Amino acid sequence: MLRINSVLLVVCFMLPQAELQAQVYKWVDEQGKVHFSDQPPRENNAAEMEKVDIKTRPISGDQPAPSAEQRRQRQQQLLKTMAEDRQALEQQREEKRQAKKKQQAVCARLKKRKEKALWATHFYHVNEQGERVYDDEKTAEGKRQAAIDAYQKECGG
């Protein structure tokens, strides 16, 4: 019994000295708001989620508490990091918006070309003298199919 009490006493004295580790989850919702929690997001609408490992140590008498200036510097560093993260995220969103807008313009152009090819009764090209030369039915069908394939390849429909 004395041995168990001794072991428990030693463990109890060692616990305050041990490093504690907390699990924190960071995610950004669809509106761009950054969240921190000790539990992962319940909804699946979090665009990105990452685990942030935070190691904490209880403040003991051996270590002095951080000064007000040290706390202020740490806070400024955290604010700067958060602002950089926010700016990088916004830049990624803007790039995605621009890419989507460009893709929509390409698809609109290809859709018009496809519709025009489907409704066209004659296809032609201009020769070196500037005259129209009408294509035969096989060539016309090839041009129709090329317009359809281009639209399906770029726009998936």
Question: Is 10 inside a domain boundary?
Answer: no
Q: Would 59 be classed as within a structural domain?
A: yes
Q: Which residues contact 39 (CB under 8 A, 6 or more apart)?
A: 25
What is the model's pLDDT at position 7? 47
Count of residues in the chain: 157
* Number of domain units in the chain: 1
pLDDT less than 50: residues of the chain: 2, 7-11, 16-20
Domain-embedded: residue 51? yes
Domain with 46, as residue range(s), is 16-64
Residue 87: count other Cβ atoms within 10 Å of its Cβ.
10
Residue 31 forms part of a structural domain = yes
Q: pLDDT tens digits, residue range 78-100?
A: 999 999 999 999 999 999 999 99
**In a domain? residue 126:** no
Q: In this structure, is residue 80 part of a structural domain?
A: no
Question: What is the residue type of 136?
Answer: D
Q: Is residue 111 part of a domain?
A: no
On whether residue 26 sits in a domain, the answer given is yes
